[in-house]
Structure 1
Amino acid sequence: MLVLSRKVNESIKIGDDIELTVVSIDGEQVKIGINAPKNVDIHRKEVYLSIQEENTKAADTASLDILKQLSGSVKQDEKD
């Protein structure tokens, strides 16, 4: 992990398209502004992890549904 120190209004560049700016510091809370292209998803980590968990559940459910459908079509083919 790279650790950098920044003061209010100082920035960090990530590649050519992303800039993080320290907007304010109040006690233990740091506010960060992020400039990035619209196609870059930006989430707090806990939100990102929740989205990943939901996507995994949805994929598992979809996989089971597809397997059930395929299983049913195989059984149907055996009857023909």
Structure 2
Amino acid sequence: MLVLSRKVGDTIWIGEDIEIVISEVKGEQVKVAINAPRSIDIIRGELRQDVSASNTEAVITNLDLFKNKF
């Protein structure tokens, strides 16, 4: 993991296509802007965890239904 200190207006590039801009720092909150091709999915970490947990729960439920049928 790379950890960087940045100021408002500073940028970080990932590869040739993804630019991250520090747009605002207010107390403990940092706002970032991400410029990336539309083909790149961008999702907040907490949403990804929620989706993963929901998917796991759905699989377990489906397995339980399948076991009860046979």
CA distance in 2, matches of 1:36, 1:27: 27
Tell me whether 15-24 or 32-41 shows the greater mean CA deviation: 32-41
- Name the amino acid aligned to 2:12: I
By how many angstroms is 1:50 displaced?
Answer: 0.3
- Percent same amino acid at aligned positions? 44
Partner of 1:48: 48
Report the Cα offset of residue 61 of structure 1: 3.0
What does 1:25-36 correspond to in 2, within 5 Å?
25-36=25-36
2:4 aligns with: 4
List aligned pairs for 1:38-77, cutoff 5 A. 38-65=38-65, 71=70
Which protein is bigger by CA-based radius of gyration?
Answer: 1
Q: Which amino acid aligns with 1:45?
A: G
Name the counterpart of 1:14: 14
Deviation of 1:66 (Å): 5.2
Q: Relative to total residues, which structure has the larger helix share, 1 or 2?
A: 1
Q: Distance in 2 between matches of 1:37 and 1:64?
A: 40
Once the two structures are TM-superposed, the CA of residue 26 in structure 1 deviates from its matched residue by 1.0
Question: Where do 5+ consecutive residues of structure 2 fail to align?
Answer: none
Answer 1 or 2: higher relative contact order, Cα 8 Å, separation at least 6: 2
| RMSD, matched Cα | 1.9
Q: Structure 1 residues 38 and 59 mapped into 2: Cα distance closer, same or farther (>3 Å)?
A: farther
